[in-house]
Structure 1
Amino acid sequence: MQSLRNFFWFCSGAYAPLLKRCPSESQKYIGIGGTVFFTGLMAAISSGYALYTVFDYYFQAVFFGLLWGLMIFNLDRFIVSSMRKKNQAWKEWKLAFPRLVFAGILAVVISKPIELRIFEKEINRKLDDERTIMLQTSKKSLEAVFGEVSALGNQKDLLRSEIQDAVIFRDKLQSEYDFERFGTRTDGTSGIIGLGMNARKKEEQLDAAQIALDKLREGHQSRIDRLDEEIRMLEQEKSKALTKLEPNIEAYDGLAARLDALSVLTTDSPAIKMAGIFIVLLFVAVETAPIFVKLISPRGSYDELLDLTEHKVVVYAKEETTKQDSKSIWRLSKFRQALD
């Protein structure tokens, strides 16, 4: 228990030998030291999470997170230990103002990664929506780049339409020929059964239409095959380009992307915005608590002993300086006498 007490004393920046002589001040500095320690711990956790989103490796995140936490701990300890009670409230608040501003900045920096972790599910959904939009935009861009695929498809449809028109014309002549042979009377047939003159003319027209259809189909099919090959090659190139873009879209999960998603969420949702403000205020309160404790607490016995100790050092330094100056003057006077 004593080792834990001494550790928190160290965290508060207090001088333990003097603090042991002031039992009434012990709990105050244990509270200050605990606040400083846990602020550094939260800084390490928040920075570790933030760095994990950057490096995506646990080792780097833990190492740099601990380094950042130690730096914040050292800064907080220095800020608290550098404040002294002098029973001059205005002067103390004036000196504490820059420290409070700096502590507030540190609180905002520490709270932001924690805020990202708290709203991680909402941020992940927002990032999924953003990735979907990015993928659709990329596909549209590729469609614009590979617009030739659509043009080739239109050419192929046109060739197939011409073949279909020829097939319809051939089928029409086949029907008229059949009607003529079997004596079915229509606007284009005589109604006489058998292979008469009209039937033979219909047969000749049907044969000519079939020959034209075969030639057309043969020529157009070779062109359709070439168009299919060109379309297949372009589709492969488009697929390769999309495959190259997909990893970049899937990797849209960094710290800046999450901060941007959180900014959009706070704009769209008043509840998330209010929760974010409360989280920041909580860390500001925790970060500035040791400074306010120093400011609002009365001057105690530890402050008296600390001033006395420092005054003794100042007096001792003055005495030693005076002694050294006197010795120097005496040696110079002896030196002058020897010269005379």
Structure 2
Amino acid sequence: MDALTRFFWFCSGIHQPTLEKHPTEHNKYVGIGATIFFTGLFAALSGGYAMYFVFKGDTAAVLFAIFFGILWGLAIFNMDRYIVSSINKNSSSTKQILQATPRILLAIMIGMVISRPLELKIFDKEIKERLKVSYLNNQRAKIDTLNKAFTNKYTIELNKLKESKAQRDSLESGIKSDRQKLNFEVFGTKTTETSGVMGYGPYAKRKEEELKQRQQNLDSLNSDVRRMENFVDGRKQFDGLLSERLYTGKQLDSLTNIAGFADRNWALGQLSFNTNGTRDSTTALAVSFIGLLFIFFECLPVFVKMMSSRGPYDRSVENLETSQMHSSEKDRDFEIEVTDGVYGTRVATAIEKQKETLTKL
């Protein structure tokens, strides 16, 4: 327990020999040190998680994440330790606020940086669903763009194919109708266009010849349609239309699993809005509150140090600093006196030597 206490004292950035003289201050600085330590721990987890997505897919992704997480956590820990220890409790309240303001702003920025990767993990499921919708919409838009470009590029060919298909359909419908009329004529079915006399008469023969001719025309037209369709399909293959398909469920799962930090960060921002563009207040508040929680947690050591009263440890530190400054000034005076004395001795020695020289002359 004593080792843990001393560790948290170290985290708070205090002068341990001085603090040991004031037992009433021990718990306060244990709390401040623990807050700084856990802030650094959260920063390590956050930085490691973010770096994992940067190198995701690499065999060394975990090692990179661990290394950067430790490095980032130590950097934030050291910065928080400096921020808290640099607040002088022996100054006036106004001066303390002025001292703390830039440190609080820095703490807010650090809190925002720390909170983002952790928010990505907390809303991981929702982010993946939003990414799936985004990837699917982007793929659909890409296919639509390719289709429009292809239509504009081959407008003449496509219109000709459309006209040929319309002619073919019309001709097929006409042949089917005439074939039915021929059957009615042969089997003696009375209609407005048939005689009603059973048998294969001149009208039936003429009708059959017409049908054969029209069937030949239809076969020729079908051949032209197939040729044009093959040409269009070849152009689609060349322009990449046939290779583009909407993503399947498995493909979407794979894409979301390898999504980078930027895509996931964008999706997290989009969670505050519904798919129709309206604002989703519930999710937006949830994301904001989590971010504010980490910002407050990052600022907490500074607030605790500012809110705490000036205790015996602060007075002892002030006295120690005053004593050290006085000692430093005395050391300076000593060095000046020594320098002056040495200089005076050198001057006196030089004068004596000069006198001896003049006497000899």
TM-score norm. by structure 1 comes to 0.84
- Contact kept, 8 Å, 1:159 with 1:224, in 2: the verdict is no
Deviation (angstroms), 1:73:
0.7
Which whole-Å CA distance do the structure 1 matches of 2:289 and 2:296 have between them?
10
1:42-89 deviation line (CA, Å, top 9, x unaligned): 112122223333332333333222222211111100001111221622
- Cα separation, partners in 2 of 1:152 and 1:53, compared to 1, 3 Å: farther
Which whole-Å CA distance do the structure 2 matches of 1:9 and 1:131 have between them?
50
- Cα separation, partners in 2 of 1:230 and 1:155, compared to 1, 3 Å: farther
- Cα separation, partners in 2 of 1:321 and 1:138, compared to 1, 3 Å: same
> Equivalent residue for 2:318?
307
Deviation (angstroms), 1:104:
1.9
Which whole-Å CA distance do the structure 1 matches of 2:167 and 2:194 have between them?
32
1:225-274 deviation line (CA, Å, top 9, x unaligned): 31232243244331225589x89x94694333333333333242222222
Which consecutive unaligned segments of at least 5 residues does structure 2 have?
274-278, 352-361
326-335 vs 152-161, which deviates more? 152-161
> Equivalent residue for 1:102?
106
- Contact kept, 8 Å, 2:44 with 2:70, in 1: the verdict is yes
- Contact kept, 8 Å, 2:46 with 2:114, in 1: the verdict is yes
Which residue, out of 81, 88, 101, partners 1:84? 88
> Equivalent residue for 2:225?
224
Q: Which has the higher helix share?
A: 1
> Equivalent residue for 1:55?
55
TM-score norm. by structure 2 comes to 0.79
Which whole-Å CA distance do the structure 2 matches of 1:10 and 1:102 have between them?
22
Which residue, out of 46, 70, 76, partners 2:74? 70
Q: Which amino acid aligns with 1:212?
A: Q
Kindly indicate whether residue 13 of structure 2 is the aligned counterpart of residue 13 of structure 1: yes
Which whole-Å CA distance do the structure 2 matches of 1:258 and 1:291 have between them?
32
> Equivalent residue for 1:212?
213
- Contact kept, 8 Å, 1:176 with 1:202, in 2: the verdict is no
> Equivalent residue for 2:359?
none
The Cα RMSD (Å) is: 3.0
50-59 vs 83-92, which deviates more? 50-59
Which whole-Å CA distance do the structure 2 matches of 1:17 and 1:209 have between them?
116
- Contact kept, 8 Å, 2:84 with 2:302, in 1: the verdict is yes
Q: How many residues align?
A: 331
> Equivalent residue for 2:354?
none
Which whole-Å CA distance do the structure 1 matches of 2:348 and 2:199 have between them?
163
Deviation (angstroms), 1:321:
1.7
Residues 134-145 of structure 1 correspond to what in structure 2 (within 5 A)? 134-145=138-149
